[in-house]
Structure 1
Amino acid sequence: MSALDTAWNFPHSVHTGSVPLLIDGTWSTSASGQTTPTYDPGTGDVIAQVTTAGPREAELAVAAARRAFDDQRWTRLSSAARGAILWRAAELMREQADELAAWESRNMGIPVPQARAMVDEAANQFQYYAGWTDKIHGHTVDVGPAERRVQGYTLREPVGVVAMIVPWNAPLISASKKLAPALAAGCTCVLKPAEETPLTALWLGQILHRAGVPDGVVNVITGPGDTVGATLAEHPDVDVVAFTGSTEVGRSIVHAATGNLKKLQLELGGKSPVIVMGDADLTRAIPGVAGAVFWNTGQVCAAGTRLFVHESVYDEVVAGVAAHGRRLRVGYGTEADVDLGPLISGKQLNRVSDYVASGQAQGARLVTGGRRIGTDGYFFEPTVLADVDQSMRVMREEIFGPVLGVMPFSTVDEAVELANDSSFGLAASVWTADGSVGHAVARRIRAGRVGINVHRAGGVYLPAGGYRQSGWGRENGERALDSYLEVKSVVSTLA
C-alpha cells in the first residue's frame, strides 16, 4: 500500500474524521482548518465532514498540476503505458463498484441499482479513452511545386492544465467524462466536485493514484464555487476550464476565463423538447417520455421537460404519462424496488415547489404530483402540468426536478417551431412510427443530441453537448479529446 493510501483510505476514514484534499499526491487539510458537512438527501443527516478548500488550496493544486505537466510526469510515459493505467483505473472502479454505488446513492439519493449503472458508465469512460492514448495523431502534407516543395505535418499536443468543475446530479460520471479524455490527451488536472456531492470524486482520485497516475497529475479539491471555482476559472496557469452546470454559472466562467483566453468546454443548462407524433406507438412512447423526465428525479441536464403531443393523442398521452408517474415508487435509495430518490437538498426542494406553484398560477393544469412527500429527506412527487404555453416559466427555465409541461400541436412544422423556441439546445427526442419523419425532424431540431423513439442513449461512444446557451464543445466520443488538445503545424523545405 502506498504512502498516500496509508495516510487516508476511503471509505474507512470518512467515518473517523474530516475527508481531506488530494494535492500533489498527498492527502491534506486546508489552511483554515474548516470543514463542510455532507448530507444524505434521503434523511437530511450529515454523513461526512469534508475539508473546505479556499483560494490558497486552489493555488497549490494548480501549481502541482503545472509542475506535473511541465516536467512531463505523465506524457513521458509511453502512450501504451498511459492507456494501461486508465484501463486499470476502470478495473479498480468495477472491483469497488458496490461500495462506490452505495456511497453515490447515499450522497446524492439515487436508488442503488441506478447508482451501480452510473459506476459502470463511469468505468466505461476510462476504458474507452484508454484505447485512444496511442491513436492521437496528426497528418502530413506536401505543398508547392517540386523545386519549391514544402513538407508539413501536424501534431496534436495536450493543452496543459485543466480545471474541472462538476455538478452534483451525477458526480462520478461527470468527473469521469472530463478526467478520462483529458488524461488520454496528456493533460494534468484539478478536479473540483460539487459541494453537495464530493465523496466519490475524492475516492476516484485515490483509485487513479492506485492505478498508477503519477503524483500531481490529478488533484481533487473541495470547496465553494464562488471561491475555489472562481480561483480556478481565473487562474493564469489553468489552460482549460471544463465545466458542467447551470448556464448562469457558465457565463461567469466565460468572463473569468478572458484573462488568459482559456479554452472552455461547457455543458450547460437544458430544457429539452420531446415530440410525440399522432402515429407513435404509445406503448413505447408513454414510458419513454416518463423516463426522459422523471429519471434521477428529473435532475438531469438533458431531461425531456417540454412535451409536445399531437392533438389526436394529446389526452391519451397526458393521462398515460401521469399514470406512469403515479406508479413510480419514490423512496430511500436502499429500499427494494425504488424508482426515484429524493431531490439533492432542501434548497432544491423549495426551487421545484416554487416552479410548480408558478405554473399553476400562470394557468397550467396540475394533472398529478406537485407536492413534497413526507417530512424526512427531500422527496417530491413526479409532476405533470398540462395545458401550458411557451410563455410560462416552467416551459422556459430549467427546473432540475421531476416536472413535465405538456401542450398540444397540430402540424409537424408547429411541433418543430415549439421545440426550437428556447434559448437552450442540449437534447431532444421525437416519437413516431414513420422513420422518414423522425429523421427529418431530427435534422430540423436545434439540439446537440436528438433521439428517435428513444430519449437517452449512446453513452461514451457518441458526442454530447449543446447548441446555443446549452454550452460549447462536446463530451464523449473522439470529439471530447478536442477540448484538451492543441494542433501544431510544422513545415520544412525539402531542399
Structure 2
Amino acid sequence: MNTYPEIMLYINGQWRKTVDDLPVLNPATEEEIGRVPHASISDLDDALESAAAGFQIWRRTPPIKRANVLLKAAALMRERQEDIAAAITAEHGKPLDQARLEVIRGCEFLEWDAGEATRTYGRVIPSAPGIRYIVHQQPIGIVAAFSPWNFPMSQPCRKIAGAIASGCSIILKAAEETPAGAVHIARALHDAGLPPGVLNLVFGTPAEISDHLIRKEQVRLVALTGSTAVGKLLTTLAAQYMTPVLMELGGHAPVIVCEDTNVQSAAISGAIRKMRNAGQVCTSPTRFFVHESIFDEYTEIFVKRAAETVVGNGVTAGVEMGPVAHERRLAVLTDLVEDARRCGAEVKTGGGRIGDKGYFFAPTVLVNVPDNARVMQEEPFGPLAIINPIASLDEGIDKANSVPFGLAAYGFTNRADYADRMVELIEAGNVSINTLEASLPETPFGGVKSSGFGREGGTEGLHNYMITKNVSHSMSIV
C-alpha cells in the first residue's frame, strides 16, 4: 500500500496546516491513517480574499489556456493513478479496482470540461439595420462548493472542472472523512500551473464553513452534492442573499423490470450494481419493481448473486465490496432493516453487520416490503435492495414516482412502447433503459423534485457557472 498523503489546506497556491485537526480512519480496519486540518474563520477569510484575486486573473485567461491547465492536470492524475487509488481505498474502503476507475472518471470530468471551455458560445440576434443584439456567456464569479465523502476523487473533480473551465475561482469544502482525493486534485492543478487563488481547498466543521461563506457578497454560486436535508438548508441560506445554487441531492432510484425482460441478465446486473461502492451512490438502484410473472425467478437469481458478493478489505484481490464509509451508516442500515421486518418485509439475505472490526454491512435484500416501511421512503445509502412485485407497467411507474426524489431511474424491457412510456412518465432527471449507467461526463446530470436542480456535465454543465449577458450595440449614436 502506498503512503497516505499529508492532508493540508490549500489557499492562495500555498499549503497550510492548522492548530485544530481530527483523525482520518480506515473504515476497513478502524485505524487512524492521517489527520485532517480544520479551517478557522481566518483561514476562510484568506480563502475568500485569495479567490477574489484569483478570479480577476482567471476570468481574463483565454479559454484555450484554461483548457490546457485542466488537460495537464488530468494527465498528471492519470500518471499518479496508483497512489491516488490507494489513498481512496484507505480512507473510503472501496475495492482498489473501483478506486482506480474513480480516478479515471475524475480525469474525464476535467478533460470534458476542458473541451467545453472553448465552446461557451454566444450568439448574434438579428434586428433592425444598425442594431445588433449580442449574447455573451461570462463566468459567474467565486463558487463555494461542497463535495461528499462517497466519491473522494470524482465528486470534487466535477465541481472544480465546471468552475475552472468557466473562468470562475472556487473554494471547495471537501469531505473530512475522505480528504485525500481533493488534495491530490489540488496537487495536480498546482503542478499544472493553475494561478494562485483560482482553487482553494478547505476542511472543517461543515455548518460553520457553509454559514460563513454563503453569507459573503463575494460568493456568487453555491454548489453542493449531498443530502436533500443539507441541500434545503444551504438553499434557504443562499436565497437570503439571492445567491444562485446548484444542487445535486439525494435519490432513491427505482428499477422497473417488465415481463418481457431477460430475467437472468437483468437480475445479475442489478445485484452487482446495487453493491457497487457498498450502495453508497446517489444513483444506486434500490427499489426494484418486478412484474409478478417473473418475480420469483428474478428474486431467486438476484438474491443468490447478492449473497455471493465478496466483502472485505478493499486492498485484497477479488473483493467486490468494502465496508460502508463510517460507523454511523451501520446504525442507520440496521434500523431500516429492523423497521422493514416489523412491517412485514422478508429479509432474504444479509440484514446486519459483518464481524466486529471495520464497518462491514452484509449485502441485504428485502422482499415484499410494505409501503409504510421507512426504507420505502428513505434512501438507505448502503448495500440494501428492495424487491417488490407489480402487476403492470403503470403500477411500476406509479411506484417509481411515489417518493419525493427524482435523480435516477431505470427500466428493463425489450418493448419500444414500454420504453417510451417509462421515458415519458417517470419523474427523474436521468432515466436509463436496459442499463444501470446513469451518468457520464458528456451527459447532463441532475435531479428533479427533492433531488435538486441544475445540471453538471454535458454541454449544459457549464451553464450554472456562467451568466448570460445581453449586449445591445447600435452602429450609430442615438
Instruction: Give the share of equivalent positions with the same residue, in percent.
Output: 35
Contact 1:66–1:161 (Cα < 8 Å) also in 2:
yes
Q: State the distance in 2 between where 1:316 and 1:231 align.
A: 54
Is residue 340 of structure 1 aligned with residue 321 of structure 2? Answer: yes
Is residue 318 of structure 1 aligned with residue 299 of structure 2? Answer: yes
**How far did 1:428 drift?**
0.6
Q: State the distance in 2 between where 1:468 and 1:286 align.
A: 28
Residue 450 of structure 1 is matched in structure 2 by 431
Q: State the distance in 2 between where 1:108 and 1:101 align.
A: 10
Q: In the alignment, residue 352 of structure 1 is paired with which amino acid? A: L
Matching residue within 68, 71, 75 for 1:87: 71
Q: State the distance in 2 between where 1:99 and 1:152 align.
A: 51
Q: State the distance in 1 between where 2:90 and 2:204 align.
A: 20
Q: Indicate the larger mover: 49-58 or 379-388.
A: 49-58
Equivalent positions of 1:253-264 (< 5 A) are: 253-264=234-245
Matching residue within 13, 17, 23 for 1:29: 17
Q: In the alignment, residue 326 of structure 1 is paired with which amino acid? A: A
Q: State the distance in 2 between where 1:132 and 1:307 align.
A: 36
Q: State the distance in 1 between where 2:243 and 2:223 align.
A: 10
Q: In the alignment, residue 440 of structure 1 is paired with which amino acid? A: R
Residue 63 of structure 1 is matched in structure 2 by 49
Q: State the distance in 2 between where 1:181 and 1:228 align.
A: 21
Is residue 285 of structure 1 aligned with residue 269 of structure 2? Answer: no
Paired residue secondary structure (2:365): strand
Residue 41 of structure 1 is matched in structure 2 by 27
Q: Indicate the larger mover: 240-249 or 200-209.
A: 200-209
Is residue 171 of structure 1 aligned with residue 143 of structure 2? Answer: no
Per-residue displacement from partner, 1:132-175 (whole Å, max 9, x unpaired)?
2221111001323x4xx521101100000001100000011000
Contact 1:54–1:227 (Cα < 8 Å) also in 2:
no
Residue 462 of structure 1 is matched in structure 2 by 443
Residue 100 of structure 1 is matched in structure 2 by 84
Residue 122 of structure 2 is matched in structure 1 by 138
Q: Indicate the larger mover: 95-104 or 453-462.
A: 453-462
Per-residue displacement from partner, 1:21-73 (whole Å, max 9, x unpaired)?
1111111123xx1111111001111100111113332222122101211xx22
Residue 402 of structure 1 is matched in structure 2 by 383
Q: State the distance in 2 between where 1:48 and 1:428 align.
A: 38
Equivalent positions of 1:201-350 (< 5 A) are: 201-350=182-331
Q: In the alignment, residue 16 of structure 2 is paired with which amino acid? A: S
**How far did 1:293 drift?**
2.0
Contact 2:431–2:438 (Cα < 8 Å) also in 1:
no
Q: In the alignment, residue 57 of structure 1 is paired with which amino acid? A: D
Q: State the distance in 2 between where 1:258 and 1:242 align.
A: 13
Q: Indicate the larger mover: 480-489 or 57-66.
A: 57-66
Q: In the alignment, residue 349 of structure 1 is paired with which amino acid? A: L
**How far did 1:483 drift?**
0.8
Q: State the distance in 2 between where 1:233 and 1:294 align.
A: 36
Per-residue displacement from partner, 1:209-252 (whole Å, max 9, x unpaired)?
11111001000001121112332233222111110000000011
Matching residue within 353, 367, 381 for 1:386: 367
Paired residue secondary structure (1:243): strand
Q: State the distance in 2 between where 1:86 and 1:308 align.
A: 42
Residue 113 of structure 1 is matched in structure 2 by 97
Q: Which runs of 5+ in 2 are unaligned?
A: none
Residue 6 of structure 1 is matched in structure 2 by none
**How far did 1:11 drift?**
5.8
Residue 481 of structure 1 is matched in structure 2 by 462
Residue 7 of structure 1 is matched in structure 2 by none
Contact 2:66–2:165 (Cα < 8 Å) also in 1:
yes
Q: Which runs of 5+ in 1 are unaligned?
A: 1-9
Per-residue displacement from partner, 1:347-401 (whole Å, max 9, x unpaired)?
1111111111111111111111101111110001110110112222111011111
Per-residue displacement from partner, 1:410-455 (whole Å, max 9, x unpaired)?
1111111111111000001001121331132122100011111111
**How far did 1:457 drift?**
4.5
| Over 6 Å off, 4+ runs | none
Paired residue secondary structure (1:169): coil
Flag the 1:11–1:63 CA change in 2: closer, same or farther, 3 A. farther
Flag the 1:13–1:413 CA change in 2: closer, same or farther, 3 A. closer
Contact 2:267–2:298 (Cα < 8 Å) also in 1:
yes
**How far did 1:204 drift?**
1.1
Per-residue displacement from partner, 1:176-225 (whole Å, max 9, x unpaired)?
11111111100001111111111121121111111111001000001121
Q: Indicate the larger mover: 379-388 or 454-463.
A: 454-463
Per-residue displacement from partner, 1:257-299 (whole Å, max 9, x unpaired)?
1232111110001011001111100121012211332211010
Q: In the alignment, residue 20 of structure 1 is paired with which amino acid? A: M
Q: State the distance in 2 between where 1:234 and 1:248 align.
A: 19
Q: In the alignment, residue 259 of structure 1 is paired with which amino acid? A: Q
Q: In the alignment, residue 294 of structure 1 is paired with which amino acid? A: M
Residue 3 of structure 1 is matched in structure 2 by none
Q: Indicate the larger mover: 151-160 or 195-204.
A: 195-204
Paired residue secondary structure (1:321): helix
Contact 1:236–1:259 (Cα < 8 Å) also in 2:
no
Q: State the distance in 2 between where 1:62 and 1:288 align.
A: 46
Q: In the alignment, residue 102 of structure 1 is paired with which amino acid? A: A
**How far did 1:12 drift?**
7.0
Residue 5 of structure 1 is matched in structure 2 by none
How well do the aligned residues superpose, as a CA RMSD in angstroms?
1.4
TM-score, normalised to structure 1's length?
A: 0.94
**How far did 1:458 drift?**
4.5
Contact 1:432–1:453 (Cα < 8 Å) also in 2:
yes
Equivalent positions of 1:187-198 (< 5 A) are: 187-198=168-179
- Corresponding residue pairs, total: 475
Q: State the distance in 2 between where 1:121 and 1:435 align.
A: 31
Is residue 414 of structure 1 aligned with residue 395 of structure 2? Answer: yes
Contact 1:165–1:242 (Cα < 8 Å) also in 2:
yes
**How far did 1:13 drift?**
5.8
Contact 1:132–1:184 (Cα < 8 Å) also in 2:
yes
Q: In the alignment, residue 87 of structure 1 is paired with which amino acid? A: L
**How far did 1:494 drift?**
2.9
